[in-house]
Chains A and B, each alone.
Chain A
Amino acid sequence: MKILDIALKDMLQSFRSVFAVMLMFVEPIMITGLIYFAFGGLGGGGSDGLDLPMTRVVVANQDQADATSGISAGNEVTKILQSEELADFLEVTMAEDEAAARAAIDDRKADVAVIIPAEFSKAMTVSGARATITLYHDPTLTLGPGIVKAVIDGIMDGFSGYKITADITEKQLARQGQTMGPDTLRALAISYTQWAQNQNTTEGASADPTISLRGPSGSRTPDDSPLAGILGPVMAGMLIFFVFFGGAYTAQSIVKEDEIGTLARLSTTPTPSATILGGKLVSVFLMVLVQSIVLLISSALIFKIQWGEPAGVIAMTLSMLVAAAGFGILVASFIRNTRQGGVMLGGVMTLCGMVGGLFTAGFNTPSGTFDIISRFVPHGWALDGWKLAMSRASISEVLVPAAVLLGMGVLFFVIGTMLFRKRFA
């Protein structure tokens, strides 16, 4: 009973501290909220939930229409760039010439200049002719120019595909001593264009003609929102970081009580030191339990994060709690006074969070070396486990990182408790 009294007193103290509440509950939600807002979570996002940035494109179309066929491929490219389908993420204006387009980028009035050369249509119609479209872009940008390049490459591949079809037909007919003629060329153009349009209109749909796309079996489907794909790991990173921080912050109360003398006063009462230490440990465990539950539920409600199947979530929550409580007690056992505590907690937790990949979760896939290093800290195993749980991996797969976390937690707990017992003996 005394254990619970001590634990409840500590919890009450923690909940009364605005600093602790901010640190344990508000900051993880706030950081994830900022990412949510950044990537289109507060309206404005597309149907897939991801809000694509608007890229300002300036087009310098210097193309001269083919004299015989009248084809102006440059105009076709410009029309596609100005089409309604692309209007949600491309804001297209026209420049008088190449110099004006380049100046618009240099003066930061546009993000990407599409410079269509004079011989562009010729490359479409004359055998052996070639042309290159230049994309001149702001060097601080990568995503916008990447999107424009993908769009242009798609158009170029369509044009090149037609040109190559016409060229090989002409070559093969020539080998048989025949010529193509304008009617055949026109028929080829119609057939190829219809086929290419069919390829593009069904791309991404279930009837995608190029590939049959699926996610890992039993996992999310490829139709899941990209925003959820970023937010889930980000929130998992924040959950782990702040739960471990919360555990260590609560465990610090032993040091605080020692410093202000209440621990010594408590030891004059008929309370065994094992009970006092036990109460402190229970408070750490209960605090991180409450923190985890609040963060899991609130993030699921606010950001619609799907943490996974109940069995995986329970296994990960419990193992993370043991690891966070054990790690907190171990770190606190090295802290001599509360002045040292802030630096120790800040330094150790930040370092472990970094090594464990918590700050880049959702954005970067860890490379081989980072992946190996992340296994030396419980944070890395926790992130691995939550990622598996969120992707609805089988419980046997989730249990591997959960078991490692549990083992680490128990080990930290035993060492931390021994150090504290020795210190307060």
Chain B
Amino acid sequence: MRILDITLKDLSQIVRDWKISLFLVVMPFMFTLFFSATSAPAEADARLPVGVVNHDPDGVLSARLIETFEGSQAIRIVSLKEAEESQVDSLIEKETYAAIVIIPEGYSRQLLAGEDIRPEVIAISDRPAGHSAVTAIRGDIKRVLSAAKGAQLSAEVADSRQPFAGDAARQAYLEEGITLANAAWDNPPISTEMKAATRIDTERSQSTNPAAQSSPGMIVMFAVFGLITSATVLVAERKSQALQRMLTTPVHRWEIIAGHLLAMALVTFLQQAVLVGLGQFLLGVDYLSAPVGILLVMAALALWTASLGLLISALVKGEEQVIIWAMIAMFLFSALGGAWFPLEFAGKAFSTIGHLTPTAWAMDGFQNIVLRGGGNGSVLMPVGILMAYAAAFFGLAVWRFRFE
């Protein structure tokens, strides 16, 4: 009962300040919306814009190249206007286009004659959009080159058997070969297909919902940040000697610590509940497909962050120090745990270390339900590991805790 009294006192102190809601709910929700919006395609056509200047308008290969670009799933081509042609560098700098392709005059003729001629591609290929566009352009050009090579080889075979009557006959044979090859490339004999390993049916699949990464990510990040409010209450009590005064009452030391810990955990749990609700109903992230599993992850994350908050408040002297350490913890645990970006994007060392953090396990717990479509049982391992972390941090905090 005394534990609950301390918890309720802390909670009333925290919720009394309306500004707290800004950091606990409004800001994380704004970040979730923002990151979802910036990751989502702005237009119905999400392909990368690529400008094209065709100086070989009558060429058979350049026409095919444009056709191949038009059918691309990665790039969306835009014919550059005359005025834009002189500003290609600036258009790339300003990221109006991910890349610009300039097909040179005589491209088809020279290529079929076996001469070295290549389209000029302008791109900042060390930026993600530029790199992806260049990769797609290169793949499309290789298919056109392959068609041309196939036609050339076919013409060589025919020529070796029965020499062509003249250049015109050879050219006609070549062009027929290119037409056949192009038609074959429209439906290549060997292809690949991607299938996501999820128990969620295709219609409800979250793999294309950017909020499925940003919503759990922001929940985890702001759960760590949210401990500022509750840890500050504890530090303020120590500074005002209210903690020392409590020792003169018949309340046990462990009851005081447990009361404060429970308050911290409840604040984080309620914050998560609001953010999960907003994610479910406003952003379409399917948390409620396994409600018990989600509750378990939320509870375990709340207990771990509360233990971390207790540890920070045990180690620091003033409120400003709480903010500094909470922010450092937030940056470290969020980045390493994959709350900012999926750990698969990071290098080996980073992702190996990252997978050891409690935040990575919290992300795993959420994503096992939201993306993998696992049931309530799929969170048992992440929850177990989070609880072990909570116990370890709690032990450290109790060991270092000072009432004076």
Contacts and interface: CB of A to CB of B under 8 A. Distances in A.
Partners in one complex: yes
Interface of A: 17-19, 22, 27, 30-31, 34-35, 37-40, 42-45, 51-55, 102, 105-106, 111, 120, 123-124, 129-145, 149-150, 152-154, 156-157, 159-161, 163-165, 167-169, 171-173, 176, 178, 180, 184, 187-188, 191-192, 195-196, 199, 203, 208-220, 222, 224-226, 228-230, 340, 343, 346-347, 350-351, 354, 357, 359-360, 363-370, 388, 391, 393, 397
A210 B331 CA distance: 43
Contacts of A391: 93, 124
Contacts of A35: 335
B315 interface: no
A31 B190 CA distance: 45
A131 B190 contact: yes
A142 B30 CA distance: 25
Contact of A164 (B42, B176, B181, B191): B181
A213 to B, nearest CB: 5
Contacts of A188: 153, 157
A22 B348 contact: no
15 contacts: A43-B349, A133-B192, A135-B193, A152-B192, A154-B139, A164-B188, A169-B153, A173-B157, A178-B161, A196-B146, A216-B124, A217-B89, A359-B35, A370-B37, A370-B42
Interface of B, helix, strand, loop or mixed by DSSP? helix
A361 to B, nearest CB: 11
B138 A211 contact: yes
B280 interface: no
B185 interface: yes
Contact of B142 (A210, A225, A343): A210
Contacts of B324: 18-19, 22
A165 B124 contact: no
Contact of A347 (B27, B145, B327, B335): B27
B55 interface: no
B150 A168 contact: yes
Contacts of B59: none
Interface string B102-144: 0000000000000010111111111111010011011101110
Given A123-B189, A149-B192, A172 B158 contact: yes
Contacts of A211: 101, 118-121, 134, 137-138, 141
Contact of B126 (A18, A44, A136, A226): A226
B190 A133 contact: yes
Contacts of A343: 19, 22-23
A355 B154 CA distance: 58
A354 B402 CA distance: 40
A389 to B, nearest CB: 11
B207 interface: yes
A366 B131 CA distance: 16
Nearest to B199: A106
B335 A220 contact: no
B250 interface: no
A173 B197 CA distance: 46
B380 to A, nearest CB: 14
A160 B188 contact: yes
A217 B336 CA distance: 38
A168 B181 contact: yes
Contacts of B348: 44, 51, 53-54
A51 B352 CA distance: 13
B281 interface: no
Contacts of A180: 157
A106 B118 contact: no
Nearest to B324: A22
Interface in B171-208: 173, 176-177, 180-181, 184-185, 188-198, 205-207
A44 B93 contact: no
Q: Give the one of B39, B128, B137, B161 with max A CB within 10 A.
A: B128
A20 B176 CA distance: 73
Contact of A140 (B35, B143, B153, B367): B367
A137 B207 CA distance: 11
B189 A38 contact: no
A351 B31 CA distance: 9
Interface stretch (B77-85, B337-345, B385-393): B337-345
A164 B88 CA distance: 36
A350 B328 CA distance: 17
Nearest to B173: A172
Contact of B34 (A176, A218, A219, A354): A354
A113 to B, nearest CB: 8
Interface string B348-359: 111100000000
A16 to B, nearest CB: 12
List of 8 A-B pairs having minimum Cβ-Cβ separation, nearest first? A51-B347, A367-B42, A229-B126, A165-B150, A216-B89, A161-B146, A40-B347, A139-B196
B219 interface: no
Contacts of A132: 190-193
Contact of B344 (A106, A134, A143, A220): A143
A134 B193 contact: yes
A120 to B, nearest CB: 7
A233 B348 CA distance: 23
Nearest to A340: B19
B38 A27 contact: no
B197 to A, nearest CB: 5
A140 B118 contact: no
Contacts of A144: 344
A140 B125 contact: no
B332 interface: yes
A123 B190 contact: yes
A39 B92 contact: no
A185 B282 CA distance: 60
B124 A215 contact: yes
A354 B38 CA distance: 10
B121 A213 contact: yes
A162 B186 CA distance: 15
A110 to B, nearest CB: 10
A44 B351 CA distance: 12
B398 to A, nearest CB: 26
Contacts of A133: 190-193
A351 B30 contact: yes
B131 A168 contact: no
Given A106-B197, A136-B196, A168-B181, 7 more contacts: A53-B348, A124-B189, A168-B180, A230-B128, A350-B30, A359-B34, A367-B43
A210 B146 contact: no
Contacts of A102: 197
Contacts of A105: 197
A366 to B, nearest CB: 7
B362 interface: no
A222 B92 CA distance: 13
B151 interface: yes
B126 A212 contact: no
A150 B142 CA distance: 13
A130 B344 contact: no
A351 B34 CA distance: 10
A53 B127 contact: no
Contacts of A150: 135
